[in-house]
Structure 1
Amino acid sequence: MSIKVAVASEDGKYINQHFGMASQFLIFKLNDDGTYKFMELRENKPACSTEGHSELSMEESVKLISDCQVVIASQIGPGAIDILLENRIDPYIAPTFIEDALKQLAEIIKEKKH
């Protein structure tokens, strides 16, 4: 079985975007054996800006990745975490290389199954 993971990254290498400020999400398919494959890039209108944040935009960001089971960002605020969990998307904070975060996530999933 595999899961879809949304990653908030500007450069495609490092998880360097706050969930609410993410201008894009990279979508990966993560397999049980820890292998993964890049599927697509989804452009996003960030929910947060210098003027504050918009609940409607936050809902749109969540809707954009609603087919994913997990989102990984460099930071995720408590309000966004609540909305993600309500939509059955597990939030992970991992300001690290995408490859490392996906490997760690595969290990966490494997441990949960045992």
Structure 2
Amino acid sequence: MALRVAVASSDGKFVNQHFGKATKFLIFDIEAEGKFDFVEVRETSPSCVSYQQHDEEELFDTVELLNDSKVVLVSQIGPGASQRVIDAHMIPIMYPGFIQEALNEISQNLDKFL
């Protein structure tokens, strides 16, 4: 069974987007053998209006867009958005670094996520 991960990235190399400011999420599947595959890019509208304030409809739409993912990797996420992600049975992880490194770390600890 693959673990689906949504990554907030503007360049495809780094986890470098705040959840509420992201315009796209890269979707990856991590297999039990530790390998991961790129699935697709999902575009969204930013939900962050200002510091700790969200457009509720955009926030709902972003969470819905990612609802088949188990993990959401972001550079930052506020408490309100984080709770929405958790309520949707996803795990928000702040990891401002290389996507490949983040996916490797998750794959080494796959049993904690499945």
**When the two structures are superposed, what TM-score results if normalisation uses the length of structure 1?**
0.91
Match of 1:105 in 2: 106
* Cα distance per residue 1:21-79 (max 9 Å; x no partner): 00000000111221100000011101014584212111110001111111100011111
Match of 2:94 in 1: 93
Unaligned runs of 5+ in 2: none
**Structure 2: how far apart are the matches of 1:50 and 1:79?**
13
Match of 2:72 in 1: 71
**Structure 1: how far apart are the matches of 2:59 and 2:70?**
17
**Structure 1: how far apart are the matches of 2:44 and 2:58?**
9
**Structure 2: how far apart are the matches of 1:87 and 1:44?**
17
Matches within 5 A, 1:10-89: 10-50=10-50, 52-89=53-90
Shift of 1:109: 2.3
Q: Amino acid of the residue matched to residue 67 of structure 2?
A: S
Where 1:83 maps in the other structure, the secondary structure is: helix
**When the two structures are superposed, what TM-score results if normalisation uses the length of structure 2?**
0.91
**Structure 2: how far apart are the matches of 1:87 and 1:53?**
17
* Cα distance per residue 1:68-110 (max 9 Å; x no partner): 1111000111111110111001111100100000011112324
Following TM superposition, the consecutive aligned residue runs of length 4 or more in structure 1 with deviations greater than 6 angstroms are none
Q: How many residues align?
A: 112
Shift of 1:3: 1.1
Give the alignment's Cα RMSD to 1 decimal.
Answer: 1.5
